[in-house]
Structure formats: C-alpha cells, structure tokens
Structure 1
Amino acid sequence: MNEVFINRIATAVPQHQVHGAFRAFAAAQALGRDERAFGRMAERAAITTRHSVLEPSLPEGSGTICGFYRQGGAFPTTRARMARWEAEAPPLAEQALLRLGMEQDGAGITHLIVATCTGFVAPGLDRQIIARFGLPLNVERTTVGFMGCQAAINALKLAWHMVRSQPGARVLVVCLELCTLHLQDTTALEQLLCFLLFADGCAAAVVSAEPEGLRLDGFSSVVIPEAADQITWRIGDAGFDMTLSGMVPFTLAHALPDLAPVMLAGRGVDEVTHWAVHPGGRSILDAVAHGLELPEQALETSRAVLDAHGNMSSATVLFVLARMLAEGRPGPGCALAFGPGLSAEAMRFQVA
C-alpha cells in the first residue's frame, strides 16, 4: 500500500481582532450573576487574540458587536446567521487557497473535501472553490458536516483512504469555521465560555502520495462511553446551540490513559516527538497533558495557536500541524481532537 503525505498546509483568519470586544460583551452578559467566576474564567483562557468576520463596535463594551449581537435585544435568527456565513465563507476560503497555491495547482486536484460545522448552504462552498480555482468539473466532492472540532482529522482520514486506493489522487482538504456567528444570548457560565474561546478561521491542505511534508501513518477513532451529553451541537431558532460541559476536561484526563494504546497503535507516549492536540481551550490542553503525563513543552505549539487564534473548531488542529510542518523537525507525531459524542479522533504522522 502506497504512503500518503500532507504535502502542504495554508491558513487564513478574518481581519477583525475581537478578543477584547467579545470578552467585554460576555462580561456585561454575566454582570450581576457569577461575575467573579466569569472573571476567573476570562483570566485563565490563555488567549491573547482571536479573529472574526464580525467587526467589533466601538467603543469596546458598548453592548453591540457590529450590530449582529445586541444586549437586551433579539439575537440573530438562524437564517440571518446562515446568510452571513454564505457571504463571508468564500472570501476567507480564497485567502487560504491562494496561499496554498491553488491558482497554479487547482487543475490537478482530483478530490475535494470540505469540513464545516458552522454553516450550510447548497450549492455549497465546494462549488465556489471549483469555479474560483479551476478545479476539474469531475472532481470528486465530499462534505464533512457537523462533526465539530475533530472534523479535520475525519477529513484527513478520508483523504488518506482516497490516496491509498488511488495512488495518483491529489486531495484538497478545506476546513472553514465561522464559530462567532453562533454566540447565544445567555447568562449561563458554561455558555458564556463560548464568548471567551471561539473564533473564525480556515485551513487548507493538499494530500497525495508525493513524498513531501507530513507522512500519514494511521488513524484511530474512539467514542468515550457515558459522556454523550458533554459536548452537543444542535440547530436552534437562533443559530447553532452548543453545550460544552465543564466535565469535559475531567472526562478526558481520566479516559486518555486507557485510550492511549489504541490511539498510538501500540507506540509509547514517550516515543512521540510531536503532539498536535486541538486547543479546544486551556483546560482541554491541561487535561490531555495530565492524562497522558506529557512533559511541559509537549503542547507548546497547541498552546501558541490557542493564544494567537482561540478555538476555530475543525480548522484549529491544522493550524497546529502547519506550524510543525514549517518547523520541519523530524520525528513521529500524534494529532488529537475531540468532538460531540464525547468522541476522540487520533492521527499518527511522521515529519518527513
């Protein structure tokens, strides 16, 4: 069976830096109720900057964000949020794909995989990518939808299978999330956490048998029993409604020691040089480090992506892998991401 590689990765974020604005907006939502607890959450977020397609209103803390969210007023309907996604997603995808070199290489793509859990429209982003970058009209298209933060690994797994079955395949993987379109009108602390974590971003990768980049060595998928309600993602009247339980870090820390042999295919934790863990939040990274007994520096790259970009759902782990690919330090690696279920996806790789 032929080997498969992520040849290159490119990323893009919207122009608007919104971390301060979202934090101020959420603090106003919490005012008078669990204010101190919210303040502690905000200080521990380990995020400096995040980006959104929404332009923050000035002055910061004015009670509105681009007129999209307004305290004391109705938050946007699902229809309004999807209209914004349809308008904003193609330009962000274009940024990443230009950096990936698709203007020159689009005609050579045989398969296209688009992953998102934050926006749906048909005809979709896949058709727009085909038209903009001259992909063949018979390119094979797949959409990975609603799999949450782990969807990039699911998409790369599909690409891996495609190249293994068709050695001449060149697969374009695009993960695009506009998480900030789905903030909810709430005073609940667990829901307000979304205002402190989530951001928008796009990452794209080329996967082929060409021996360059990150070699993909295998994948594992595990559903963690009795934790199905800890991460949920449902379509409501006012956008997509996430439940992110405070129990998730506890569950992961206790489950990972038993899951490690499956995820690493028998390799020892100490044999892994690169840990590309989806930075779902500081507490998630801390839980992974604790559960797997990782050395302090093991998650430096994941923590750096969290600090610079926040949680961009499926796109985020590709931002981590892009940094590892750019650094080019050889050695075996493991990518981990978690999603609704509660479930875990693992990808074993080697920096070639």
Structure 2
Amino acid sequence: MSLPVPVYLNAIGTAVPGHDIHHAFIAWARERLIDSRSAKLFDRMAARSAIGHRWSILPPTGSGGSPVDPQGFYADAILPGTAARMAIYAEAAPMLGIAAIEALGDLGDITHFVVASCTGFVAPGIDQIVARRIGLSPSVERLLIGFMGCYAAVAALRTARHIVRSDPAARVLVLCVELSTLHLQDVAEIEPLLAMLQFGDGAAAALVTAEPGGFVLGAPFATTLPESEGLIRWDITDRGFAMHLSGEVPARIAAGLADPVFAQAATGGRDPAEIDGWAVHAGGRSILDAVEGALHLPAEALVASRGVLADNGNMSSATLMFVLARLLSGSPIADGVALAFGPGLAAEGFGFRSAV
C-alpha cells in the first residue's frame, strides 16, 4: 500500500487596503460611552490592545477623513443598510483578493480554487468573479466557504490538502478575504465596541500542491468547548453583520487549554514543549495571552501572531494566513501547529513543518 502523498503550502501572498482607520474608530467609539467609568475602561483596553493599525477598504473622505467623518460612509445618523454594505463587498472583496493572489507570483495551471469569506455575500460568488478576472480556466473546480469566521483559513487549507492527497497533480489556489470594517454598528455598550476595536480588512492567498517547497501540511484537528456556542457569533441585521465577541472568550480558552483533554485536541495531540513553530490566530491580545499562559509557552513563541495583530488587527479568516506567511519567511520549523478559534466556540488547526 502506497503512502499518502505529502502536501505543501508552497507560498502565501497577502494584501491590505491603504486606509488606516484604527485611531479614528477609537475616537468615534469613545464618544458613544456616556458613562465615565465605561469610557475610562475603554481607553485602558484600547491602549492595551496591542493594535497599532487596522486597514479599511472604505476610502478616506475628500478632505482625508475617516469613514465616520462628514462625507464618510458612516457619516449619517442612521448607518447604511446591509444592501449598501454588500454592494461595496461585491466590488471591493474581489479587488483585495486579487491583490493577494498577485503577490503569489506565477500560479501555474490552477485546477482548484477554494475561497473563504464571512463578511459578505454576492452571487455569482467572489470565487467566480475572481476566477474570471484572473483568467482561470472555466474548468477549475471552485469551492466557497462562507460564514465560518476566524478558523475558516484552517477549513480552506484542510480542503486543499484533501484535494492534493486525492489528486497529486492538483494545484489548489486558496483565498481568504474579509472586509470586517463594512459592519460598523451604532452601539453605546462597551462590549460590542471593544469587539469592533479588533477588526480590520485583509486578504491572503496560498498555493497548495504536491511540489516540495514551503511548509508540509500535516494532519488537521478540531474540537469545541462545551456550552460555548453563544460566545462568538455573527448576527445578520438590517444594518450589516453584528459581531458578538464575549469578554469571556479569553478566560474560557485559557480554562479549556488547562484541561489536558481539550489541550491535546487543540494541539493535534502534540506536546507544546516540543513545538517550535506557533501560528496562532491573532484574535486579540487577550486571546494570545490566554494561549501563551495556558500552554506555558515562552514569550517568543507568539511573536509572529503578535506582529500581525499590531500591524493589521484581526482580519477574521485571513489572519492565520498572515501569521503563516511570517513564519514561512523565517527560520525552518521542525514541528509547527496552526491554531484558530471561532464561532462555536471551536478550535481548529493543523500541524506543519518546513519542507527543508
């Protein structure tokens, strides 16, 4: 019986828009907190967020202002409806996705195209729009993974791995593209404002084949924290998608990882002390701190994740690919783990190692 063919994540390309909206959002959000105690807490949490920049596809105003300033997308007292937001998604998501794909360089003859996105809907889907614009053959097999949230990159890369293992001649293009800043909500409560504080726009593309180079993609794994389904969710409303990210999430993750059974499931059965490469979804500073503390990782273990968080914030499904891109350009990794948390509350990931 022949052994399964090794599958390689050969390259990753990334792209972000050019409009940094992080500090403009902080000023806008703080104005909504009338209670001085909440305002002080928000200031403290914003300062501790470890986020320096978040990028938006929404353009600056004519005078250079942000989307919440006069003439900006969110300037009116009643924020735009879901239809207006989806109209922008239909135009901007393919453009940003193509920028990430172009960063990959030569693709060769792509046979499969896997796209993950949870921040918009359009039909024909962005998989068809992008495939047509970049000149992929109409015979390319496409898959669109929607609404899985932050761990969707795992699902997309896992799917690519399954395809190549079943057809070693396959060349799979994977794309994660998220436009989180399309979903600003006019709220005055600190928890949803702190949730929105995390998110920015970004896209990442990857090439997965049986040709040696990059990272060897190992076995995937998945598990779910019990009684946690309400902690992370998206609600589709008439005013965009409302993100609910409970403040309990970091503590629940830490408690889960303190359980040897859950920790084994969330690391693919590996001993954290033996892992020399960590690609943890940069969902927020407190989440990275929870993982680091619960698994007793050295301070340098999550440098790549913290760097992505500082430079881009949380870009939902694209974030993990940004972290992998940093690791791919760094020192060789003998035994790595990619791990992401998302709605459920689920933890999904896979093992990886450098090809050389």
**Do the structures match in fold with TM over 0.5?**
yes
Cα distance, 1:193 vs structure 2: 1.2
The correspondence for 2:75, drawn from 65, 70, 75, is: 70
Do structure 1's residue 202 and structure 2's residue 203 form an aligned pair? Answer: yes
Q: Name the CA distance, whole Å, in 2 between partners of 1:27 and 1:130.
A: 42
Give the aligned partner of residue 159 of structure 2: 158
Q: Which moved more, 1:273-282 or 1:256-265?
A: 256-265
Cα distance, 1:265 vs structure 2: 3.5
Do structure 1's residue 55 and structure 2's residue 56 form an aligned pair? Answer: no
Contact 1:20 1:60 in 2 (8 A): no
2:265 is aligned with what amino acid? V
Deviations 1:252-280 (A, max 9, x none): 00101332222333321111001100010
Give the aligned partner of residue 17 of structure 2: 14
Task: Let me know the Cα RMSD of the aligned residues.
Answer: 1.7
The correspondence for 1:28, drawn from 8, 28, 31, is: 31
Moved over 6 A (4+): 59-62
1:169 is aligned with what amino acid? A
Give the aligned partner of residue 170 of structure 1: 171
Q: Which runs of 5+ in 1 are unaligned?
A: none
Label 1:287 to 1:169 Cα distance change in 2 as closer, same or farther (>3 A): same
TM (norm. structure 2) is 0.94
Contact 2:172 2:208 in 1 (8 A): yes
Q: Name the CA distance, whole Å, in 2 between partners of 1:12 and 1:59.
A: 22
Partner of 2:101: helix, strand, or coil? helix
1:179 is aligned with what amino acid? S
Contact 1:24 1:60 in 2 (8 A): no
Q: Which moved more, 1:288-297 or 1:261-270?
A: 261-270
Q: Name the CA distance, whole Å, in 2 between partners of 1:248 and 1:81.
A: 28
Cα distance, 1:64 vs structure 2: 2.5
Deviations 1:71-117 (A, max 9, x none): 7x00110101100111211211121111112xx435x1111011000
Q: Name the CA distance, whole Å, in 1 between partners of 2:250 and 2:65.
A: 31
Q: Name the CA distance, whole Å, in 2 between partners of 1:37 and 1:202.
A: 32
Contact 2:114 2:142 in 1 (8 A): yes
The correspondence for 2:310, drawn from 307, 324, 345, is: 307
The correspondence for 1:46, drawn from 50, 71, 80, is: 50
Q: Name the CA distance, whole Å, in 1 between partners of 2:218 and 2:67.
A: 50
Give the aligned partner of residue 87 of structure 2: 83
Identity of aligned residues (%): 50
Cα distance, 1:70 vs structure 2: 2.9
TM (norm. structure 1) is 0.95
Cα distance, 1:242 vs structure 2: 1.2
Q: Which moved more, 1:261-270 or 1:155-164?
A: 261-270
Task: Number of aligned residue pairs: give it.
Answer: 348
Do structure 1's residue 340 and structure 2's residue 343 form an aligned pair? Answer: yes
Contact 1:23 1:195 in 2 (8 A): no
Partner of 1:290: helix, strand, or coil? helix
Cα distance, 1:330 vs structure 2: 2.9
Structure number having the greater helix percentage: 1
Cα distance, 1:331 vs structure 2: 1.8
Give the aligned partner of residue 111 of structure 2: 110
Q: Name the CA distance, whole Å, in 2 between partners of 1:163 and 1:203.
A: 20
Partner of 2:329: helix, strand, or coil? helix
Cα distance, 1:55 vs structure 2: 2.8
Label 1:123 to 1:65 Cα distance change in 2 as closer, same or farther (>3 A): farther
Q: Which moved more, 1:316-325 or 1:327-336?
A: 327-336
Q: Which runs of 5+ in 2 are unaligned?
A: none
Q: Name the CA distance, whole Å, in 2 between partners of 1:175 and 1:203.
A: 5
1:180 is aligned with what amino acid? T
